[in-house]
């Protein structure tokens, strides 16, 4: 990757920041993903004591609720990374 020498230090810092931010966002979203996926399945029999507009709650989560959470997660990731990319380019240009 061709990088001009005068901006080397700035680029290195911007890269470190970008990668760390990326990893933090990935880890956070992954944690939400894991909870949204496995908690309603593991505790399904407990959740089924509650009803959500006719659905037993565990059934509703696996059939709809978890899926909507996934959509939100992917949307969030795209938004967060867009912002981080902009900040990265700004950082490299020294602004």
Partner 1 sequence: MTTVADARFYRRLSLYYAVYTGGFVAFVLLMALAERMGLGPRYIGYAFMIATVALYAVIGVISRTADVSEYYVAGRRVPAFFNGMATGADWMSAASFLGLAGTLYHGGYQGLAFVVGWTGGFVLVALFLAPYLRRFGQYTIPDFLGARYGGNLPRAIGALGVIVVSFTYVVAQIYGVGIIASRFVGLSLEVGVFVGLAGILVCSFLGGMRAVTWTQVAQYIVLIVAYMTPVVMMSWKVTGVPIPQAAYGTVLRDLGERERALAADPKEIEARALFAERARDLDARINALPWSLEAERRILAQRMVELRERDAPTRELAQTERALMALPGTPAAARDAWSRARDASAAAAAPPVPHAQAHPGKDAQAADAARRNFIALVICLMLGTASLPHILVRYYTTPTVREARRSVFWSLFFIVLLYVTAPAYAVFAKWEVLSHVVGSAIADLPAWVVSWGKLGLVRTNDINGDGILQFAELSLNTDAIVLATPEIAGLPYVVAGLVAAGGLAAALSTADGLLLTIANALAHDVYYRMVEPGASTQRRLVVSKSVLLMVAALATYVATLRPDNILYLVGLAFSLAAATFFPALVMGIFWSRANRWGAVAGMLAGLGTTIAYAAITHPFFGGGMHNAWYDISPIAAGIFGVPAGFAALIVASLLTAAPGAEVRDFVESIRYPADEEDTAGLPFPPRG
How many amino acids of this chain bind partner 1 (CB under 8 A)?
A: 46
| 50 lies in the site for partner 1, by CB under 8 A | no
* DSSP result, 18-52: HHHHHHHHHHHHHHHHHHHHHHHHHTHHHHTTSEE
Our finding on whether 20 is near partner 1 (CB under 8 A) is no
CB of 84 to partner 1, least distance (A): 9
d(CA 83, CA 79): 6
Residues 6+ apart with CB under 8 A from 55: 63
8 makes contact with partner 1 (CB under 8 A): no
**Whole-angstrom distance, CA of residue 56 vs CA of residue 71:** 22
Which residues make up the interface to partner 1 (CB under 8 A)?
Answer: 1-2, 15, 18-19, 22, 26, 29-30, 33, 37-38, 41-42, 44-45, 47-48, 51-56, 58-60, 62-64, 66-68, 70-71, 73-75, 77-78, 81-82, 85-86, 88-89
């Amino acid at each position: 990757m061709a990088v001009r020498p005068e901006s080397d230090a700035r680029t290195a810092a911007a890269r470190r920041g970008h990668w760390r931010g990326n990893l933090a966002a990935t880890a956070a979203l992954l944690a939400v993903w894991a909870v949204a996926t496995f908690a309603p399945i593991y505790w399904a029999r407990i959740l089924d004591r509650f009803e959500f507009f006719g659905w037993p709650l565990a059934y509703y989560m696996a059939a709809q609720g978890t899926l909507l959470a996934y959509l939100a997660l992917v949307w969030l990731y795209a938004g967060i990374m867009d912002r981080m990319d902009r900040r990265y380019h700004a950082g490299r240009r020294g602004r």
